Amino acid sequence: MFSVGDMAVYPAHGVGVIEAEEKKVIGGKEKIFYVMRILDNDMTVLIPKDNIDRIGLRNIISKEETSKVYSILQERDVSLNNQTWNRRYREYMEKIKSGSIFELAQVLRDLYLISNDKQLSFGERRMLETAKSLLIKELSLAEGKTEAEIEDKINGLLSDNGG
**Residues comprising the chain, all counted:** 163
Every domain of the chain with CATH number 1.20.58.1290 lies at 63-159
Q: How many CA atoms lie within 13 A of 11 on its CB side?
A: 17
Every domain of the chain with CATH number 2.40.10.170 lies at 7-55
Phi, psi of 50 (to 5 degrees): -85, 5
For the stretch 29-65, pLDDT in tens is: 999 999 999 999 999 999 999 999 999 999 999 999 9
Q: Which residues, other chains included, contact 35 with Cβ-Cβ below 8 Å and sequence gap of 6+? A: 18, 19, 20, 21, 22, 44, 45, 46
The model's pTM: 0.89
For the stretch 77-99, pLDDT in tens is: 877 767 777 888 899 999 999 99
Per the CB < 8 A criterion, the answer to whether 45 and 10 are in contact is: yes
CATH class of the domain whose range is 7-55 = mainly beta
63-159 fold: Methane Monooxygenase Hydroxylase; Chain G, domain 1 (1.20.58)
Q: Name the residue type at position 107.
A: V
- Distance between CA atoms of residues 54 and 56, nearest Å: 5
User: Which is nearest to 12 in space by CA: 86, 98, 90, 72?
Assistant: 98
